[in-house]
Chain A
Amino acid sequence: MNAAAPVRTDSADGRVDFGRPTLVLRRRRLSTRVSRRAVVVCTVLAVTTFLLALVSLGVGTLALSPMEVLAALADTGGNEQARLAVVGWRLPRLLLAVLCGAALAVSGAIFQSLTKNPLGSPDIIGFSTGSYTGAIVVMLWLGSTTYLNIAAGSLVGGCVVAFVVYVLAYRRGIQAFRLIIVGIGISAILGSINSMLLIAVSPEQAMLAAVWGAGSLNGLGYAQLWPVAISGTLLILGAALIVAPLRQLEIGDDAARALGIRAQRSRALATVLGVALTAVVTAAVGPISFVALAAPQIARRLTRGIGLELLPAALTGALVLVAADLIAQRVDLPVGVITVSVGGSYLAWLLISEYRTRGRL
Chain B
Amino acid sequence: MLLAACTVLALTCVASLAVGARDIPPATVWQALVAFDGSDEHVMVRDLRLPRTLVGLVVGPALGTCGALIQAFTRNPLADPGILGVNAGASFAVTFAVAFLGLRAPHQFVWFALAGALAVTVLVYLIGSVGPGRATPVKLTLAGVALSAVLGGLTSAMTLKSTQTFDVMRFWGVGSIGGRSMETLVYCLPLIGAGLLLAAASARSLNALALGDDLATAFGVRIGAVRVVVVLAVTLLAGTAVAVAGPIGFVGLMVPHVVRWFVGPDQRWIIAMTVVVAPVLLLASDIIGRIILPSGELRVGLVTALLGAPVLIALVRRKQVSGL
Contacts and interface: CB of A to CB of B under 8 A. Distances in A.
Interface of A: 119, 124, 168-169, 171, 175, 177-178, 180-182, 184-186, 188-189, 191-193, 195-196, 199-200, 214, 289-290, 331-334, 337-341, 343-345, 347-348, 351-352, 355-361
B215 interface: no
B145 interface: yes
Interface stretch (B131-139, B186-194, B225-233): B131-139
A185 B138 contact: no
Interface string B71-109: 000000010000100000000000000000000000000
B309 interface: yes
Interface stretch (B27-35, B205-213, B263-271, B300-308): B300-308
B149 A290 contact: yes
30 contacts: A178-B316, A180-B142, A181-B316, A184-B83, A185-B310, A186-B309, A188-B312, A192-B306, A331-B157, A333-B157, A333-B161, A334-B160, A337-B157, A338-B153, A340-B152, A341-B149, A344-B151, A344-B152, A344-B153, A345-B146, A348-B143, A351-B130, A351-B139, A355-B130, A355-B131, A356-B131, A357-B131, A358-B131, A359-B131, A361-B138
Contact of A191 (B132, B142, B305): B305
B313 A359 contact: no
B150 A345 contact: yes
B320 interface: no
A340 B92 CA distance: 14
Nearest to B152: A340
A180 B127 contact: no
- Most chain B CB within 10 A, of A332, A345, A358, is at A345
B156 interface: yes
A181 B141 contact: yes
Contacts of A177: 138, 141, 316, 322
B241 interface: no
Contact of B147 (A124, A344, A359): A344
Contacts of A195: 174, 299, 302
A333 to B, nearest CB: 5
A200 B139 CA distance: 38
B302 A196 contact: yes
Q: How large is the interface on B (under 10, 10 to 19, 20 to 34, 35 or more residues)?
A: 35 or more
B153 A341 contact: yes
A191 B303 CA distance: 11
B313 A181 contact: yes
Given A171-B322, A177-B141, A357-B131, 12 more contacts: A124-B145, A185-B312, A192-B302, A214-B156, A337-B153, A338-B153, A340-B152, A347-B146, A348-B143, A351-B146, A359-B132, A360-B139
Contacts of A343: 149
Q: Which secondary structure dominates chain A's binding surface?
A: helix
A348 B297 CA distance: 35
B160 A168 contact: no
Contact of B309 (A188, A332, A345, A355): A188
B130 A289 contact: no
- Most chain B CB within 10 A, of A188, A195, A360, is at A188
Contacts of A182: 313, 316-317
B293 A199 contact: yes
A351 B131 CA distance: 10
A337 to B, nearest CB: 5
Nearest to A334: B160
B298 interface: yes
Nearest to B148: A344
A339 B156 CA distance: 12
A196 B308 CA distance: 16
B249 interface: yes
Given A340-B153, A355-B139, A189 B305 contact: yes
Nearest to B315: A181
Given A182-B316, A189-B310, A196 B298 contact: yes
Nearest to B250: A188
Given A344-B149, A347-B149, A186 B298 contact: no
A358 B133 CA distance: 11
Nearest to A340: B153
B313 A344 contact: no
B143 A341 contact: no
A181 to B, nearest CB: 4
Contacts of A289: 149
B196 to A, nearest CB: 27
Contacts of A171: 317, 322
Q: Which 3 A-B pairs have the closest CB atoms?
A: A344-B149, A344-B150, A341-B153
B256 to A, nearest CB: 17
Interface in B269-290: none
Nearest to A339: B153
Given A171-B317, A337-B156, A188 B308 contact: yes
B154 interface: yes
B312 A181 contact: yes
B127 A185 contact: no
- Most chain B CB within 10 A, of A181, A331, A339, is at A181
Interface string B243-273: 0000001100000000000000000000000
A360 B134 CA distance: 11
A245 B283 CA distance: 53
Contacts of A351: 127, 130, 139, 142-143, 146
B306 A189 contact: yes
A326 to B, nearest CB: 16
Nearest to B312: A185
Nearest to A350: B146
A339 B141 CA distance: 21
Given A192-B305, A361-B138, A214 B160 contact: yes
A16 B145 CA distance: 45
